[in-house]
Amino acid sequence: DAVRGLVEGGARLARQQEPPAWALGSPEPPDHWEHDLPKAWPVEVRRGETLQLLAGWAGTEADTLRDDNRETLKQRRWLRDGERLTVTMSANQKLAFDRARERFHEDRLADYFSRHYVEKVVLYVVKRGDKISSVAKAYGDAPLWLLASFNHTDFRSLQPGDEVLIPVVAAIGSRGQAPPAPQVVDERGTPLAPPRVEGVAGRLDADLMGRARMAVDD
């Protein structure tokens, strides 16, 4: 069916993807950047990132990063998913930043799916007054960063009638048996009709679903 094909295709895609250029024998970013002039780089915050993480990846201090973005952050010491910050780095520092950042997100995804799998995906229709984090909690313990990865949208801009995909996860059993492909259901748990599943399948992230399946199969 559509979801099974998407999962299997995503797994093949994940296996076929080439590693980034820096993993193909390119020189490591240098530890010193005296001759590499810094400039301001725009960085969009991803869910789960903190000032300390961003500063560490950029080779600077969290206080420096906060001062450079005082107009955006005001007095906040926490970050909002999707907000844009300015990080001052040289080109080589930016390369090291991107590398460390991607490793963090890859490791988080791999670690999570080493212990969990996607049991089903709920197609939820937003109601007036809904708080998506609370709605998702009603369906299980999927972390918010995974919910965000499934939807690629700013939850603050949701309106009544919008649709959100909520992954329902379960723990991988000790026997290591591969679970069945996930179902797509409505908010009451009723499996969607095939034509509706086809439409939802096109919104699922094939690479994300494939990575989840690879972790179980491996």
Per the prediction, the chain carries an average pLDDT of 82
Residues 6+ apart with CB under 8 A from 14: 207, 210, 211, 214
Q: Average of pLDDT values for 105-120?
A: 88
What's residue 15's pLDDT?
A: 54
pLDDT score, position 29: 57
Q: Are 46 and 119 in contact (CB under 8 A)?
A: no
If pLDDT is split at 50, 70 and 90, which confidence band does 110 have?
A: confident
Look up residue 36 and give its two tokens: 């590499």
Q: What is the DSSP letter of 35?
A: T
Give the pLDDT score at 18: 55
Task: Tell me what pLDDT residue 23 has.
Answer: 57
pTM: predicted TM-score of the whole model, two decimal places: 0.68
Residue 186 in this model has a pLDDT that exceeds 80: yes
Residue 17 confidence (pLDDT) above 90: no
User: What per-residue confidence (pLDDT) applies to 77?
Assistant: 86
Residues 6+ apart with CB under 8 A from 164: 123, 124, 126, 132, 135, 151, 153, 155, 158
- The percent of residues above 70 in pLDDT, for the chain, comes to 77
Spell out the SS3 assignment of 166-196. Answer: EEEEEECCCCCCCCCCCEEEECCCCECCHHH
pLDDT of residue 216: 47
Burial of 202 (0-12, 13-18, 19+ CB in 10 A): exposed
Of 128, 129, 146, the residue nearest 137 (C-alpha)? 146
Confidence (pLDDT) at 218: 47
pLDDT of residue 36: 73
Contact, 9 vs 211, CB < 8 A?
no
Return the pLDDT at 211: 64
Give residue 174's pLDDT.
66
Amino acid 95: pLDDT: 94
pLDDT over 60 at 20, yes or no: no
DSSP string, 66-80: HHHTHHHHTT--S--
